[in-house]
A and B are shown apart, each in its own frame.
Chain A
Amino acid sequence: MTRSLRWLGAAALVGLPFVYTAPYPMHILIIILIWSFAYTSWSIMGRFGLVSLGHGGFMGIGAYVTALAWNYGHVSPWIGAPLGLLAGGLLAVVVAYPCFRFRIIGHYFALVTLALSGIVLQVITATRDYTGGSLGYTPERYKNGSSLYAVQFTGKTTWYLIALGVWAFGLYIWHRVDRGMLRYALEAISEDEDGAAATGVHVTREKLKVTVLSAAMTALAGALYCQYQMFISPDTVSGIAVSLQMVFAVVVGGIYVPLGPTVGAVITIMLAEVLRVSFGTRAVGWDNLVYGILLVIFIIFLPKGILGSLLALRRARRGAAAGE
């Protein structure tokens, strides 16, 4: 993408809510931005072969810590959300450190993290007296209106701009990791851990760095989701289904390109909406079925995802044109 095109796109995204304010499309856009950020957070580590099926757990932690701190401790989300990030990061260390230390990689790492999703879900359900269990949980309204202190806003425009900012922040982090030495180390590690260690890379530490980063970002996505929706439940922000949904969306969009997870979010959320609108309650759960089938098809036929494949195609065309 050329530079000017990128600025034009950014200007259009920022300007949009000032010319167009229909609530339903706005809502869909906000949801897409929040999930795009979550998926981007996942792929920060996923692109290096660190496939986590535990990110639903991190997202749930971010959401629930923020909400519980607000309701029980009267702690503003400005502090509650960072607490959620901290908790997510700590949990990542507790789970990932032993995995990395003892070289649990690939499928085995995915399985350990899958257990993490399950455990977080169990904890939320088991402590239903405080968290509302599977019925869900609602942060208390603050003075029935918009408040910066409570991070509660009634206007969709405000939420859109917040979500847009956080999403852009996610892309910025992606870019920073991509340009930094951390990428060199993680690419090398994903290919040959012993070889990487022999060039001086502290394999466990570098893997842990990116995992904590990814987990904390995902917890932030959870906190954001909680504040926007003002309702969270294990099914929507935590648990195994959410973890799988992240992997699916990223695989569809493209795991190795910065905007891949965003494209994945657009496609999966639009798909779910179309199914919901056209089939109503009859289609509950259909999206998961369609995801499952598409996931298999993508992994086999389009492993780079939609955006990744398109970009690769364009590059190949350009290469051919330049070669002539």
Chain B
Amino acid sequence: MLKIEGLTKRFGGFTAVNAVSFEVHKGEILGLIGPNGSGKSTIFNMVSGTLAPTGGSIRFAGREIAGQPPHRIINLGIGRTFQIPRPFRRLSLVENVVLAGYYGQGRRSRLKAFEAAERALGLVGLPTDRAASVEGLGAAALKKLELAKALATEPKLLLADESLSGLDEHEMDQAADLLRRICRDLDITIVWVEHIMGHLMRVVDRIIVLDHGEKIAEGQPAAVANDPRVIEVYLGTQAAAMRAVAGTGRA
């Protein structure tokens, strides 16, 4: 579905992403992990068009999309959430999502946009009444709003950037389940960037590990968790947790 080859991004002299290649298969949830600054968000930014790659190719459904503007990419069916939520505070909660539903689906119909927004808000568990405001939403709700905006564009591929950081245990479980439901019920392929390994391991089909902008491991959660390079990168602690969870397998 998505095929990335030799993807590279340099900021001045600094290489944030270095010749990364991987594929995303239709119907799967792919986990993308790596320590702070390893280039995960930068990859998302390139796939979604927010940043132009320095080199390499990004093919989506057989079509080269590297360097295309974000509004075109989202209309091809790639939705994304931002690691740091970007709500529009001058719009109401519903309007935020309707905007995405309208402009993210080729400006087809206002009515469809409202319907898509209502569905997306309902799915993530946010209020759908017109008066609801963005002001005063907490971290968890803002992340849900990010997700609702991406879903309202009815994507085929969803790039979810660290949707769990800043949430409590219960909220994390809920969010992980939500992503699984989105994949299974809405038939949306997902690439999930996450810091909190335990929850990610439970849900994903495959994992890719990045370090310093390079791919260092790829494979089944259990195998990746036992990879010595991965253990080294995570200095044991998180990797141990990963192994523990990976042992229980995916439900």
Contact = CB atoms under 8 A, between A and B. Distances in A.
Contact of B100 (A190, A194, A200, A202): A200
Given A191-B88, A198-B86, A200-B103, 11 more contacts: A181-B98, A181-B110, A184-B95, A191-B90, A199-B99, A199-B104, A200-B71, A200-B75, A200-B102, A201-B71, A202-B71
A233 B138 CA distance: 57
Contacts of A192: 86, 88
A34 to B, nearest CB: 31
B86 A195 contact: yes
9 contacts: A181-B99, A181-B107, A184-B91, A185-B103, A187-B90, A187-B91, A191-B90, A197-B49, A197-B69
Contacts, number: 71
B149 interface: yes
B77 to A, nearest CB: 11
Nearest to B113: A181
B90 A201 contact: no
B113 A199 contact: no
A188 interface: yes
B91 A200 contact: no
Interface of A: 181, 184-185, 187-188, 190-192, 194-203
Contacts of B99: 181, 184-185, 188, 196, 199, 201
A199 B100 contact: yes
A199 B90 contact: no
A198 B50 contact: yes
A202 B91 CA distance: 18
A200 B104 contact: yes
A181 B82 contact: no
Nearest to B103: A200
Interface in B4-33: none
A199 B91 contact: no
A191 B89 contact: yes
A230 B89 CA distance: 47
B41 interface: no
Of A185, A194, A199, most buried by chain B (CB within 10 Å of CB) is A199
B153 interface: yes
B50 A200 contact: no
Interface in B142-195: 149, 153
The 3 closest A-B pairs by CB, nearest first: A200-B104, A200-B103, A195-B86
Given A198-B80, A199-B104, A200-B103, A184 B86 contact: no
A188 B86 CA distance: 10
A202 B86 CA distance: 17
B70 interface: yes
Nearest to A48: B90
A197 B88 contact: no
B74 interface: yes
A198 B82 contact: yes
Nearest to A206: B103
Contacts of B113: 181
A58 B198 CA distance: 61
A37 to B, nearest CB: 26
Contact of B70 (A185, A188, A197): A197
Nearest to B97: A199
A311 B186 CA distance: 45
A43 B89 CA distance: 20
Nearest to A181: B102
Contacts of A190: 90
A188 B110 contact: no
B153 A199 contact: yes
B75 to A, nearest CB: 6
A202 B107 CA distance: 10
B88 A188 contact: yes
Contacts of A199: 74, 99-100, 103-104, 149, 153
Contacts of B102: 181, 184, 200
Contacts of B103: 181, 185, 199-202
A191 B149 CA distance: 16
B99 to A, nearest CB: 4
A256 to B, nearest CB: 10
B57 interface: no
A198 to B, nearest CB: 5
A117 B44 CA distance: 43
Interface in B29-87: 48-50, 69-71, 74-75, 80, 82, 86
B88 A187 contact: yes
A204 to B, nearest CB: 9
A190 B88 CA distance: 9
A199 B152 CA distance: 9
Nearest to B152: A199
A201 B88 CA distance: 13
A197 B107 contact: no
Given A181-B107, A199-B99, A200-B100, A194 B50 contact: yes
